[in-house]
Amino acid sequence: MDFALTEEQLMFKEQVLKFARKEIAPRVQEYELKGELDWESWRKLGEFGILGLHFPEELGGSGADVVTSVLAAEALGEAGVDGGLTLSYGAHTYLCADTIFSHGTEEQKRTYIPKLASGEWVGCMGLTEPGAGSDVASLRTKVEKKGDTWVLNGSKMFITNGAIADVAVIYAKTDPSAGHAGMSAFIVEKGTPGFSVSRSLKKMGVRTSPTSELIFDECVIPETNLLGQEGNGFLMAMRTVEWDRSTLLAPFLGAMSYLIQKCSKYALERVQFGKPIAHFQAVKHRLADIKIFLEAARSLVYRIAWCKDQGKPLNHLEAAVAKLFIGDWSLGPTNDAMLIMGGYGYCHEYDVERVFRDSRLAPIGGGTSDIQKILISRLM
């Protein structure tokens, strides 16, 4: 066992941290209040290479390993990049682009990956439906083969980047009677007749990330837009879990470092009863608890990334443990940070309540904590 990161990995994390602090963090509050994606930041993420980090160079990426990708996502959180932007990045790069990269034909890869890696195009993934979330087998979006086309009908709910996406990976039932084996994945481009965004959803946190309902009404796509093998959709969706439990959780680790930094500085400056509040035991204990959570969570996330780098099949138990731990145990530390900063913590200006709100997604998105508990208890 060895927890060492390479010099290159550490240097790259430092570069991302500097870049994000300078180029992205200064606009976070403005866009968070507006509830809009910051397109300038998006463009800069693309220019820096974050959006296509792990893709091969010939497709516009940098060929980074998964641990490096996790460190980059962690650095974004540590720099104070909001959970909305990191969520949009995660959905775009890992849930959409990587699914095309991992299962697509050479032509599909050449068509979409360079545009997605640069950020020229935005991607999204549609799995959840108004009536089917964790219970994936009960999807109702149907797709029928008609000649040399597929015809999609149904709707998708809570779709990150849905309203701004140029391309979507959509899961639908090719054989409604076959359960998981009846699910397939398709590439649907913006502007395809019959594909529309029904409404954008207002959320408690991750507000800069647009979340939408997508409608497919007799939406006709070419036969060639089938992604991978027909009937393999469920397995493809499960493959994204590796990214979901590593790179998409990593910003939460970074956010804890961000809170430690903000709370430490505040506690040293804020004077009450004649001395900085950093001198009070209760404040110190809260600060320590944020650090303890960060250190306990860190290796759970790195382990998933390392296993993927080694080509090991995903250990679903370890993945669920990582998701459950970060989902449920992150609530305490974000609350501690608000309490350290008191009334200022409750105000938007100090950016701690934003992390508090963003973190509420952790036990919900990508498989709720209850689903993780079901999985863990089944597998243990």
In angstroms, give the least distance from the CB of 39 to other proteins: 33
* Chain residues 62-121 in contact with other proteins, contact rule CB under 8 A: 67
On whether the CB atoms of residues 208 and 32 are closer than 8 A, the answer is yes
- The interface mask with other proteins, positions 236-265, x = CB under 8 A, is ------------------------xx--xx
CB 122 within 8 A of CB 161: yes
Please tell me whether residue 168 binds other proteins under the rule CB under 8 A: no
Token pair 């731990």 in the structure block, residue: 325
Q: Which stretch binds other proteins (CB under 8 A): 95-103, 133-141, 292-300, 342-350?
A: 292-300
Q: Does 303 bind other proteins (CB under 8 A)?
A: yes
Q: Which residues are CB-neighbours of 183 under 8 A, at least 6 positions away? A: 136, 137, 139, 171, 172, 173, 174, 231, 233, 234, 237
Considering the complex, state which of residue 109 and residue 308 has its C-beta at the smaller distance from other proteins. 308
**Measured from the CB of residue 204, what is the shortest distance to other proteins in angstroms?**
24
Q: Does 19 bind other proteins (CB under 8 A)?
A: no
Please choose, from the candidates 241, 222, 211, 273, the residue with its C-alpha nearest in 3D space to the C-alpha of residue 87.
211
User: Of the candidates 30, 57, 144, 295, which one interacts with other proteins according to CB under 8 A?
Assistant: 295
Is residue 272 close enough to count as binding other proteins by CB under 8 A? no
What's at 328, amino acid-wise?
A: D
DSSP string, 236-261: HHHHHHHHHTTTTTHHHHHHHHHHHH
The label of the residue with tokens 């991992």 reads 102
Minimum separation from the CB atom of position 16 to other proteins (A): 18
Q: Decide: is 275 part of the binding site for other proteins (CB under 8 A).
A: no
Q: Which stretch binds other proteins (CB under 8 A): 92-100, 165-173, 199-207, 279-287?
A: 279-287
Q: Are 124 and 165 spatial neighbours (Cβ–Cβ below 8 Å)?
A: yes
Shortest CA distance to 123 belongs to which of 78, 80, 145, 92?
92
Beta bridge partners of 146: 149
Helix or strand holding residue 327 (H, E): helix 316-329
In sequence order, the β-bridge partners of residue 126 are 170
Smaller CB separation from other proteins, 20 or 260: 260
How does DSSP classify residue 4? Answer: P
Contacts for 273 with CB less than 8 Å, ≥ 6 apart: none
Largest CA distance in the chain: 80
Window of 13-21, 49-57, 91-99, 278-286 that interacts with other proteins by CB under 8 A: 278-286
Binding to other proteins by residue 311, rule CB under 8 A?
no
Site residue total, other proteins (CB under 8 A): 48
Could you say whether residue 1 binds other proteins (CB under 8 A)? yes
Residue 134 touching other proteins (CB under 8 A): no
Candidate list 186, 243, 325, 350; residue touching other proteins; CB under 8 A: 325
- Minimum distance between the CB of residue 309 and other proteins, rounded to whole angstroms? 8
**310 token code pair:** 């080694």
Residue with tokens 């309902």: 213
Answer yes or no whether residue 368 interacts with other proteins by CB under 8 A: no
Based on CB atoms, which residue is closest to other proteins, 30 or 295?
Answer: 295
How far apart CA 344 and CA 121 sit, in angstroms, is: 38
Does position 17 interact with other proteins (CB under 8 A)? The reply is no
318 binds other proteins (CB under 8 A): yes
By CB under 8 A, residue 181 contacts other proteins? no
Cβ atoms of 323 and 297 closer than 8 Å:
no
Contact between 355 and other proteins by CB under 8 A: the answer reads no
What span, in angstroms and rounded, lies between the C-alpha atoms of 263 and 286?
Answer: 10
Residue among 188, 300, 338, 352 that touches other proteins (CB under 8 A): 300
Q: How far apart are CA 260 and CA 262, in angstroms?
A: 6
Is residue 203 part of the contact set for other proteins (CB under 8 A)? no
271 binds other proteins (CB under 8 A): no
Q: In terms of CB distance, is 38 or 65 closer to other proteins?
A: 65
The contact set with other proteins (CB under 8 A) reads 1-5, 67, 260-261, 264-265, 267-268, 278, 281, 283-285, 287-289, 291-292, 295-300, 302-303, 306-307, 317-318, 320-321, 324-325, 329, 370, 372-378, 380
